[in-house]
Amino acid sequence: MKEKAAHRDVVISVRGLCNRFGRHEVHTDLNLDLYHREILGVVGGSGTGKSVLLRSIVGLHAPDSGTIEVFGEQLQALSQQQRSRIERRFGVLFQSGALFSSLTLQENVALPLIEHAKLSRIDAEHLARVKLALVGLPANAAEKYPAQLSGGMVKRASLARALALDPEVLFLDEPTAGLDPIGAAAFDRLIVTLRDALGFSVFLVTHDLDTLYSTCDRVAVLASRSVLVADRLAVVEATDDPWIRDYFHGPRGRTATTRGEAR
């Protein structure tokens, strides 16, 4: 059973966000909130700027205008040192996993602990093994390289690295992309279990309807360069919009709904 947002404390507040690439405007006056301990799913058609929004929030893309307030502080108003302090409270899992192929899983997860938490190599690698176990990987996976692992194990290792610094917000960009249905369902359950246990908030970009129904407390739909609706799934499904009707009420949407109800 999914947990609803425990209360309405806003962790991230985006207001009036505009993003342009040359003459192409991706976002115009976009507003969105992420609440404490919630899992927020972000969906939309191709080109609606889901990943651009994520990258803007985590500081990898500078928006043209608007404000992004994180933990009560406006990112654009902070110095680089202050921004780095805030960004260390984030964990990010990119679609590709982005593990270093020349490092073992243990070394990949230990790296941010050495660089940012200033732990010794011994302590960092011990904690890295704990994180790898936390995401369900066997002990012998720690000494393996990414190329030696299945796609599902790489995803879990990448999640372990995203959790290395005990983030308060976890950003996931298409986390189940490339996984088979069984592996994707297991990953969805893992995200909910970890959120419930560790208490972080999740900003989740996905196309996967099963993921929305099995994990998300709210869903935000991007359309026409802004947020069309951001609410519980029942409210989003009932929104009168052609894309929402096609997405949520087409054959795949009906199947995902049935699976979500079964859970």
Alpha helices in 135-208 (DSSP H): 151-162, 181-198
Which has the minimum average pLDDT: 42-46, 79-83, 134-138? 79-83
Residues 176 and 153 in one domain: no
Q: Which residues pair with 40 in a beta bridge?
A: 203, 218
Residues 112 and 33 in one domain: no
pLDDT at 252: 60
**Does some domain include residue 114?**
yes
**Does some domain include residue 94?**
no
Q: How far apart are CA 51 and CA 26, in angstroms?
A: 11
pLDDT band at 260 (very low <50, low <70, confident <90, very high): low
Residues 36 and 107 in one domain: no
Which has the minimum average pLDDT: 46-50, 80-84, 234-238? 80-84
pLDDT band at 261 (very low <50, low <70, confident <90, very high): low
pLDDT at 85: 87
pLDDT at 257: 59
Between 3 and 132, the more confident residue is 132
pLDDT at 98: 83
Residues 222 and 121 in one domain: no
Nearest Cα neighbor of 141 from 158, 124, 163, 162 is: 158
pLDDT at 251: 67
pLDDT band at 94 (very low <50, low <70, confident <90, very high): confident
Residues 114 and 134 in one domain: yes
Q: pLDDT above 90 covers what percent of the chain?
A: 80
pLDDT tens per residue across span 168-214? 999 999 999 989 999 999 999 999 999 999 999 999 999 999 999 99
pLDDT tens per residue across span 198-255? 999 999 999 999 999 999 999 999 999 999 999 999 999 999 999 999 999 876 654 5
**Domain span including residue 154:** 99-166
Hey, CA dihedral for 185, 187, 192, 196, is it positive or negative? Answer: positive
Q: Please check whether residue 36 is in contact with residue 6, taking contact to mean a CB–CB distance below 8 angstroms.
A: yes
Q: How far apart are CA 83 and CA 76, in angstroms?
A: 9
Hey, CA dihedral for 55, 40, 29, 247, is it positive or negative? Answer: positive
Which has the minimum average pLDDT: 13-22, 78-87, 213-222? 78-87
Residue 16 has pLDDT above 60, yes or no: yes
Residues 231 and 149 in one domain: no
Q: Which of 147, 166, 185 corresponds to the end of one domain?
A: 166
pLDDT at 3: 41
Structural domains counted in the chain: 2
pTM over the 0.85 mark? yes
Nearest Cα neighbor of 45 from 229, 220, 257, 243 is: 243
Q: Which of 166, 186, 217 corresponds to the end of one domain?
A: 166
Residues 174 and 149 in one domain: no
CA angle, 56 as apex, 80 and 215 as ends, to 5°? 120
Nearest Cα neighbor of 202 from 171, 177, 224 is: 171
Residue 7 has pLDDT above 50, yes or no: no
Domain of 211, CATH number, reads: 3.40.50.300
Report DSSP letters for 32-78, one per residue: EEEETT-EEEEEESTTS-HHHHHHHHHTSS--SEEEEEETTEEGGGS
Q: How far apart are CA 165 and CA 120, in angstroms?
A: 14
Q: Which of 112, 134, 166 corresponds to the end of one domain?
A: 166
